[in-house]
Chain A
Amino acid sequence: MKPLFFNNVAIEAVAYVLPTKVVTSTEIESQLAATMARWA
């Protein structure tokens, strides 16, 4: 594909929303503790 060149296009605005529930990597690993111990 050839390059695209824009003549009359602007990003007017961007907005985002993030979930409030935070899950740490430590918490995820804790759910796998028994499995990881078996593989150690």
Chain B
Amino acid sequence: MKPGMLQGLTGIRERRFWEAGQQASDVATLAAEKVLARTGIPREAIGCLISTSVSKDYIEPSVASLVHGNLGLADHCISYDIGNACLGFVNAMASLGMMIDAGFVDYGLIVDGENSRDVVAATLDRLRKPDAAAEAFRDQFATLTLGSGAVAMILCRSDLSTSGHLLNGAVTRAATRHCRLCLGQRDYMTADASKVMIFGVDLAKQTWDFASQVLANWSDAEIDAYIPHQVSQRNMDVLNAKLGLTPQKHHLNFPTLGNIGPAAVPITLGQAAETGRIRPGNHVALMGIGSGLNCSMMSVTW
């Protein structure tokens, strides 16, 4: 164990923590208020609210219910949580997209608020104990990479949209024979990071190959930008080698945000748009993966 190992092994220089006492619903509400203000869409137009936060205020009610109440959304707006580790947000986009295509909803809101402060603090407390073993450090190492953030996204019928950012299609694959490689609770997470990476990238390859068969223009040459779930430079290097991806097409923020769970893909998408990394008309690949293991890839025309 050498000083500098945490950054050296992961490429993560820093991460961010909310102030003590801030809950998942509080910060998810902040992001939701921001996206509602930005679009000017009236609250009564929102027909569905989904939260995908791994962090939770309570076991019940849902984080979505708390955010729904905070926002003062209408009684006709359904709300619920979708939990699928780091993949939850992409799953929610697919689910809400189906509801919109089916005509049940015109506008829907997805939120995610991640708060890693407490689990990192609890992990440091355990590892500082005199009887802490090196194996505990290895098993809980991934916890020290976690960061925090909040994000909100509005999906709507494309004929109502002013953005023109189209959801084209999505594919998903599962490898739940590896379902116990990463186990997380409120104050404790253990992960076999090496196996998660190896089997996760294998699953990503299966998903990529399936997407290449069924989604239009799904190849490294035809995709302008990748918006991946991201946890470390090593993971990105292995992913790029296995799938044959051009590294420069990724928008990466893990060096300054750490692993922000299901918030990673939408926050990365937002930052890529803000910085001009993705432009109108670009073919953008959202690449989500979560412990379990589950993987989804989604085609977007920006």
Contacts and interface: CB of A to CB of B under 8 A. Distances in A.
A10 B263 CA distance: 19
Contacts of B127: 32, 35
Interface in A1-40: 1, 3-26, 28-29, 31-36, 39-40
Contact of B31 (A6, A17, A21): A17
A25 B7 CA distance: 6
B266 interface: yes
Nearest to A20: B16
Nearest to B286: A11
Contacts of B19: 19, 21
Given A11-B165, A16-B149, A17-B34, 4 more contacts: A9-B101, A10-B163, A19-B18, A36-B1
B94 interface: yes
Nearest to A27: B14
A17 B1 CA distance: 34
Given A5-B168, A9-B155, A25-B6, A16 B124 contact: no
Contact of B100 (A8, A16, A31): A8
Nearest to B168: A6
Contact of B151 (A12, A16, A31, A36): A16
A32 B266 CA distance: 32
Contacts of A32: 124, 127-128, 137
Contacts of A5: 168-169
A29 to B, nearest CB: 5
A31 to B, nearest CB: 5
A17 B158 contact: no
B15 A15 contact: no
B83 interface: no
Contacts of B13: 24-25
A3 B208 CA distance: 12
Nearest to B128: A35
Interface residues of B, number: 77
A25 to B, nearest CB: 4
B101 A8 contact: yes
A7 B99 CA distance: 12
B189 interface: no
A26 B163 CA distance: 41
A11 B167 contact: yes
A11 B18 contact: no
A10 B157 contact: yes
Given A12-B162, A17-B149, A36 B3 contact: yes
A4 B97 contact: yes
B75 interface: no
Nearest to B28: A17
B243 interface: no
Given A25-B7, A25-B12, A25-B13, A12 B166 contact: no
25 contacts: A3-B171, A4-B170, A6-B97, A6-B98, A6-B170, A10-B157, A10-B158, A10-B160, A10-B167, A11-B163, A11-B166, A12-B155, A12-B161, A12-B163, A14-B151, A14-B266, A14-B273, A15-B153, A15-B270, A17-B31, A23-B16, A24-B13, A25-B12, A35-B132, A39-B137
